[in-house]
């Protein structure tokens, strides 16, 4: 059996070097005011969005549902790269690494145990995690060589394996936090024997379906000890008396969630609230329980499902620098420093912007790391927290690229400037996508 790294590389048509560079991490703009306040209201989520946000977890011998509220967070110290403005770039999601930064001041004691099947052959003990059907098991979350669970990272560093696609896994909780929306730090447990794998049967649940059973399996040697990670997920457990309380975010998290956009000839800040959404029809795969699997995000593909009522969704223009050599016109998007430009959002061969996907399908190129880009909006949407449908525009002339200088802004810094560049052949026409992002304008 080939390694998960090689299998996903073959699937995406990417070399091993590029795959390793797809180190998906939480990042974003810091050094900004975190006292911007909150939007006045948010639109009602559609049925498909609510379905994609809801994932199961084992708790005290039965299954509970959890609702994910924000993108994942990698708890490492921020660094900066001037090529991407003031954006802090954070480290790789990793097993065996303790966090050094936290998304919330009250995270302690909230652990999400991630159970990974690990009883494959000696050369690839992780095989059941990437091919559960062959091993006759189901997983609550599909492996990332098939799909990414909502608000999960796409890759993770595993000692001895390197950076690999996030393996398929089950979730286990030790308490419900009274239905409060909080951050949970992931602890990984490798399950060495299939008899210990949590399974729902007609006669009830068997295997590791509670924290007590996990501890018993560890004593019996059918599970590893808890392995620390620097990854945090944000969700609430659905309870009979739902809580409206959410834990305050740390200043670092608030900085990470904030990214710039051009609007009306100036720069405004936007605060991201949820994971991205891919607007394709849901499909199901029995290897992953009842989890809906959504299609890959793609340029040139119009959505068929929506995260909110369509009348409430605004276009979000993503400007991609596209004036490289004929063999690689996308080169400025992946190496802006060489072209003397800055990007609002780093390319995914460096890092992934907050709540953005790691890859996207581009006609003629296939599945590629998300290119670096700038953001452009035509409305502040009343400063409401809404969903925006991504529209891609390829900027084909460097003179049209949005630029901030001592003399002000130039290039495509407004919708009017975008239309002017398109009319003069300096930018492509609007290219649709099936990708949605969620944020509000400060």
pLDDT score for 108: 64
In this structure, the answer to whether residues 203 and 174 fall within a common structural domain is yes
Same domain, 111 and 232: yes
Of 237, 265, 281, the domain-final residue = 237
Based on the fold, state whether residues 273 and 421 are members of the same structural domain. yes
Residue 245 is assigned to a structural domain of this protein: no
Q: Are residues 23 and 169 in the same domain?
A: yes
Residue 62 is encoded by which pair of tokens? 């039965």
* Local structure of 420: helix, strand or coil: helix
| pLDDT tens by residue, 349-363 | 888 888 999 899 999
Residue 244 inside a domain? The answer is: no
For residue 436, the enclosing domain spans 251-441
Closest CA to 344 of 263, 426, 399: 263
Q: What is the pLDDT of residue 36?
A: 41
Position 167 in a domain: yes
Q: Which residue has the higher pLDDT, 360 or 82?
A: 360
In a domain, 215, yes or no: yes
**CA–CA distances in Å: residue 246 to residues 128, 254, 345:** 36, 14, 28
Kindly state whether residue 41 falls inside one of the protein's structural domains.
no
Within a domain: 166: yes
- Final residue belonging to a domain, choices 182, 203, 237: 237
What pLDDT digit, counting tens, does each position of 8-36 carry? 333 323 332 322 222 222 222 222 233 34
Residues 145 and 232 in one domain: yes
Mean pLDDT value across residues 39-54: 78
pLDDT of residue 167: 98
- Cα-based distances in Å from 442 to 267, 272, 408: 11, 11, 21
Q: Does residue 179 form part of some domain?
A: yes
Token look-up 């999400």 returns 112
The mean predicted confidence, pLDDT, of the chain is: 86
pLDDT-derived band at 38 (thresholds 50, 70, 90) equals low
Please indicate, yes or no, whether residues 146 and 183 belong to a single structural domain of this protein: yes
Residues 266 and 229 in one domain: no
Q: How far apart are CA 345 and CA 252, in angstroms?
A: 18
- Both 298 and 393 in one domain: the answer is yes
Q: What pLDDT is attached to residue 91?
A: 75
Is residue 421 domain-resident? yes
Q: Residue 39: its pLDDT value, please?
A: 59
pLDDT for residue 244: 66
**Total of domains in the chain:** 2
**Is it the case that residue 378 has pLDDT exceeding 70?**
yes
Cα–Cα distance for residue pair 389/314, rounded to 1 Å = 6
Does residue 63 carry a pLDDT above 70?
Answer: yes
Residues 211 and 119 in one domain: yes
- Please report the pLDDT score of residue 336 as a whole number: 96
- One domain for residues 104 and 28: yes
Domain boundary at 237, 260, 278, which? 237
Banded pLDDT at 41 (limits 50, 70, 90): low
129 and 270 together in one domain? no
207/285 Cα distance (integer angstroms): 22
Answer yes or no: do 181 and 315 share one domain.
no
CA–CA–CA angle 145, 151, 153 (5° rounding): 45
pLDDT given at position 185: 96
β 162-165/155-158 pair status: antiparallel
């Amino acid at each position: 059996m080939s390694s998960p790294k090689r299998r996903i590389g073959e699937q995406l048509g990417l070399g091993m070097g590029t795959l390793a560079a797809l180190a998906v991490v939480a990042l974003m703009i810091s050094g900004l005011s975190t006292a911007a306040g909150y939007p006045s209201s948010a639109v009602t989520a559609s049925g498909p969005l609510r379905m994609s946000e809801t994932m199961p977890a084992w708790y005290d011998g039965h299954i509970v549902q959890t609702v994910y509220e924000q993108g994942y967070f990698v708890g490492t110290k921020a660094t900066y790269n001037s090529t991407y403005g003031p954006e802090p770039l954070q480290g790789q999601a990793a097993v065996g690494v303790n966090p050094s930064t936290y998304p919330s001041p009250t995270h302690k004691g909230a652990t999400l145990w991630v159970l990974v099947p690990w009883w494959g052959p000696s050369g690839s003990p992780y095989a059941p995690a990437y091919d559960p059907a062959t091993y006759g098991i189901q997983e609550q979350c599909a492996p990332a060589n098939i799909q990414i669970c909502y608000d999960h990272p796409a890759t993770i560093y595993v000692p001895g394996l390197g950076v690999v696609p996030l393996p398929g896994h089950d979730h286990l909780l030790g308490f419900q936090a009274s239905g409060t929306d909080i951050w949970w730090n992931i602890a990984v447990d490798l399950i060495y024997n299939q008899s210990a794998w949590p399974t729902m049967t007609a006669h009830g649940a068997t295997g590791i379906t509670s924290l007590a059973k996990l501890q018993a399996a560890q004593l019996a040697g059918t599970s590893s000890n808890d392995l620390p990670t620097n990854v945090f997920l944000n969700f609430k457990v659905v309870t009979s008396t739902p809580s409206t309380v959410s834990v305050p975010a740390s200043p670092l998290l608030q900085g990470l969630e904030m990214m710039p956009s051009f609007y009306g000839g100036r720069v405004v800040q936007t605060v991201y609230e949820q994971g991205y959404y891919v607007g394709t029809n849901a499909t199901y795969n029995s290897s992953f329980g009842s989890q809906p699997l959504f299609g890959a995000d793609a340029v040139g593909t119009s959505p068929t499902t929506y995260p909110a009522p369509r009348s409430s969704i605004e276009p979000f223009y993503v400007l991609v620098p596209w004036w490289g050599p004929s063999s690689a016109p996308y080169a400025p998007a992946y190496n802006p420093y060489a072209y003397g430009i800055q990007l609002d959002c780093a390319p995914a061969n460096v890092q992934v912007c907050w709540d953005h996907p790691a890859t996207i399908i581009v006609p003629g190129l296939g599945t590629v790391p998300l290119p670096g880009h700038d953001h452009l909006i035509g409305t502040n949407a009343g400063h409401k927290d809404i969903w925006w449908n991504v529209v891609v525009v390829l900027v084909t002339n460097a003179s049209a690229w949005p630029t901030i200088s001592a003399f002000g802004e130039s290039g495509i810094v407004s919708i009017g400037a975008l239309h002017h560049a398109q009319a003069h052949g300096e930018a492509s026409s609007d290219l649709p996508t099936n990708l949605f992002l969620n944020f509000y304008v400060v």
